[in-house]
Amino acid sequence: MSSFLIGALINLNHPDHYFQWHIFDISAANAIVIILMLATFIGALLLPFPGRRRRKENQ
Amino acid sequence: MSTSEIDRQWTTRLRKRTFGKLPPEKMLPDTQPSYVSSWIYVFGVATISSLVVVIATGCVLAIFGPAWWHTSNVGHFVNSMHLWSVEIFFFSMVIHLWGKYFMAAWRGGRALTWITGMVLFLCSIVTALTGYVSQSNFDSQWISTQAKDAINGSGGGAFFNLLNGGQMLMWHIVLMPLILVLLVGVHVVLVRIKGVVPPIEENAGAVQ
């Protein structure tokens, strides 16, 4: 039942979508993962780390 | 036994050398420098945590076998856990790698820490590839027949045959996990010995 519900949210039962540009050829799934990694990396650099200010004040 | 005789024993020498380089307070420190309070370091820990889940779910898959993970609901679930923990493993590792690259984390005599990390990344790719071809389904057949040409083209096909299911399975569940766990141990110990790399603007010699 739960797998049916999750499957209904995103239909994965089809061939991959591909983005093509000159020699570049990448599946939508791989492109999404790379975009997510870049977004997470930028977030990791910019988002404040919990307790950092308190630790600095203690030092 | 005299003191000089005790000092000559290999156990004494090994203990002195080990604890000289890595005393307990350095191996399990109470505090870290303020620059370690960053999300970037969370991804190194997340990589190791996901590796623990990968190994644990892999052990369950090894116990019950392919018929179970292909057909039963619980088998599908554990199989998916194995796959998704690998996804998180690579996701976290790449962010950790990017962070360390832009920090130039090999500074201050940390080249070996960087090299073990890079070798770990390459070994992880081999482990994932041998895992994909060990699924025992049409997907693994497709991947093995496609990837064999690359391996054969590199000259590695003589001793690493992607169409040899037994060899791929043994590499995936014995050889590569042993290498990975050993290298992770060496990597973490090196981080403890050398300390976390200070920011570029700080004095490169100032460590912990």
- H/E stretch holding A25 reads strand A24-27
Q: What is the pLDDT of residue A57?
A: 63
Q: For residue B96, give the chain A residue with the closest CA.
A: A41
Provide the shortest C-alpha distance from residue A25 to chain B (in Å).
Answer: 16
> What residues in chain A have their Cβ under 8 A from chain B's Cβ atoms?
3, 33, 36-37, 40-41, 43-45, 47, 49, 51-52, 55-56, 59
CA-to-CA dists, residue B87 to A33, B53, B90, B136, B193, angstroms: 9, 11, 5, 20, 30
As a whole number, mean pLDDT of residues B142-157 equals 92
Bridge partners for A25 per DSSP: A20
Q: What is the pLDDT of residue B33?
A: 84
Contact B123, B182 (CB under 8 A): no
Q: For residue A51, give the chain B residue with the closest CA.
A: B37
Output the furthest CA–CA distance in chain A (Å, rounded). Answer: 56
Is it the case that residue A9 has pLDDT exceeding 90? no
Instruction: Kindly report, residue by residue over B80-97, the tens digit of the pLDDT.
Output: 999 999 999 999 999 999
β strands within chain B, DSSP E: none
Across the interface, which of A37, A52, A55 has its CB nearest the CB of B95? A37
Instruction: Kindly report, residue by residue over A11-33, the tens digit of the pLDDT.
Output: 777 888 899 999 999 999 899 99
Contact A17, A26 (CB under 8 A): no
Question: Tokens 């420190």 belong to which residue?
Answer: B29
Is it the case that residue A38 has pLDDT exceeding 50? yes
- Chain B residues inside the 8 Å CB shell of A45: 39-40, 99
CA distance linking residue A45 with residue B22, whole number of Å: 30
Alpha helix (H) residue ranges in B31-160: 39-64, 66-71, 73-102, 111-132, 138-154
Domain boundaries, chain A: 14-46
Instruction: Kindly report, residue by residue over B29-66, the tens digit of the pLDDT.
Output: 888 888 888 898 899 999 999 999 999 999 999 999 99
Q: What is the pLDDT of residue B208?
A: 46
Is it the case that residue B70 has pLDDT exceeding 70? yes
Amino acid at B120: L
CA distance linking residue B75 with residue B88, whole number of Å: 20
Domain boundaries, chain B: 39-91, 104-196
Contact B199, B35 (CB under 8 A): yes
Is it the case that residue B202 has pLDDT exceeding 80? no
Instruction: Kindly report, residue by residue over B96-148, the tens digit of the pLDDT.
Output: 999 999 999 999 899 999 999 999 999 999 999 999 999 999 999 999 999 99
